Amino acid sequence: MELTTLWFVVIAFLWIGYFVLEGFDFGVGILLRVLGRDEPERRAVVTTIGPVWDGNEVWLIVAGGATFAAFPEWYATLFSGFYLPLFAILVALILRGVALEYRGKRDDLLWRGRMDTLITVGSVIPALLWGITFANLVRGVPLDADHEYVGSLGDLLSPFALLGGVAFTAVFVAHGAIFLALRTTDELRQRANRLAARTGLVAAVLVVAFLLWALNLRGDTASAVVAGAAVVALVAALVANKYRREGWAFTGTALAIALAVTALFVAMFPAVMPSTDPATTLTAVEAASTPYTLKVLTWIAGIFTPLVMLYQGWTYWVFRKRVTVEPVAVA
């Protein structure tokens, strides 16, 4: 495999890891006020992602850094053309992170209510905007001969892109609901299980519509097969959730997200920034760094990526037990 293709696969893998892991804690954040009916329940909901949410965001940082190093022109075109939505994502993630860290710093229900609002908003906005961003990558955006974005913000808000935003958000909500059913107990677990069933059906309809539209715009046999497998995995997750097999249900939604994102990257390749004018499409070869740079990056990634994955896997193993709803102590 050529290094250019290898690094396209690596970056796709990093985005897949990010959406699978950050996807469920986006869903948990969105559902914080929906499933958490009082302070003890909301504290339990936040506790389920407390030890892992910041580690999940590392995948985004590494994906951005790898894109900058391996495909600098892709990075430049993407981050300049999508500046406003990516900036909004960054602000939302900062506010969400601050709220998660500072929620428990004051024993004040009003304070915690405000932090809960920031967590919810900071989860909805990135989920929606990531869907819009990736939908535009598949659809193609206006680029000139120098591969610079020449469209407007309105060009990024096509019906297909908006469907992508809603589909991503719905899948993350279902993924988060199943994660909460997996990690909580008693009444909170039961409500999460029921909500996962309802949101999962909505997500399945939206995902099927989005993938069919995406394949119609830019797809081939390989991407169609992968997309079909994603739908099967999502349906299997809903069946497992119905029988209260939360572990298998979570595996199913994780696999569905991974396969759906894979289908988008397969449909896009060898382009990294498809253009509405095929003549100005930016390909992986055109955007890549020098062979020497890619070779050095390959050695670095080969050494450190397994170590990071082992550490993060160990973190999930340590904090694998269910979280119980503890009553608030009365002084």
User: What is the spatial distance between Cα 143 and Cα 160, in angstroms, rounded to a whole number?
Assistant: 19
Q: Per-residue pLDDT for 331 more than 50? A: no
User: What is the spatial distance between Cα 284 and Cα 241, in angstroms, rounded to a whole number?
Assistant: 40
Asked if residue 270 has a cis previous peptide bond (ω within 30° of 0), the answer is yes
Is position 72 within any domain?
Answer: yes
Is position 323 within any domain?
Answer: no
Is position 206 within any domain?
Answer: yes
CATH of the domain at 294: 1.20.1630.10
Query: Other CB atoms closer than 10 Å to residue 41's CB: what's the count?
Result: 18
Could you tell me how far CA 275 lies from the centroid of its own chain?
24
DSSP-based three-state secondary structure for 151? coil
Is position 325 within any domain?
Answer: no
Q: Per-residue pLDDT for 140 more than 70? A: yes
Contact 143, 273 (CB under 8 A): yes
Which H/E stretch holds residue 271? strand 271-273
Query: Other CB atoms closer than 10 Å to residue 154's CB: what's the count?
Result: 7
Six token digits for residue 86: 């990516």
Tens of pLDDT along 51-62?
888 888 889 999
* Closest alpha carbon to 17 in 69, 68, 52: 52
Tens of pLDDT along 82-135?
999 999 999 999 999 999 999 988 888 888 999 999 999 999 999 999 999 999
* pLDDT at res. 1: 57
Q: Per-residue pLDDT for 193 more than 80? A: yes
Q: Global pTM?
A: 0.93
Contact 119, 93 (CB under 8 A): no
Longest dimension (CA), the chain: 70
The proportion of the chain whose per-residue pLDDT surpasses 90, expressed as a percent, equals: 69
Is position 142 within any domain?
Answer: yes
Six token digits for residue 195: 């909500």
Please, which residues have CB within 8 angstroms of residue 37's CB and are 6 or more apart in sequence?
Answer: none
Domain hosting residue 285, numbered range: 3-318
Which H/E stretch holds residue 331? none
Q: What is the mean pLDDT of residues 238-267?
A: 94
Total domain count for the chain? 1
* pLDDT at res. 166: 96
Is position 89 within any domain?
Answer: yes
Is position 328 within any domain?
Answer: no
Q: Per-residue pLDDT for 328 more than 60? A: no
Q: Per-residue pLDDT for 300 more than 60? A: yes
Reported as a pLDDT band with limits 50, 70 and 90, residue 67 is very high
Q: Per-residue pLDDT for 287 more than 80? A: yes
From residue 56, how far is each of 33, 128, 148, 212, 223 by CA, in Å?
Answer: 22, 18, 31, 29, 26
Query: What residue spans of 106-220 are helical by DSSP H?
Result: 109-139, 159-183, 186-217
Is position 324 within any domain?
Answer: no
Dihedral in degrees, nearest 10, Cα atoms 126, 130, 136, 137: 140
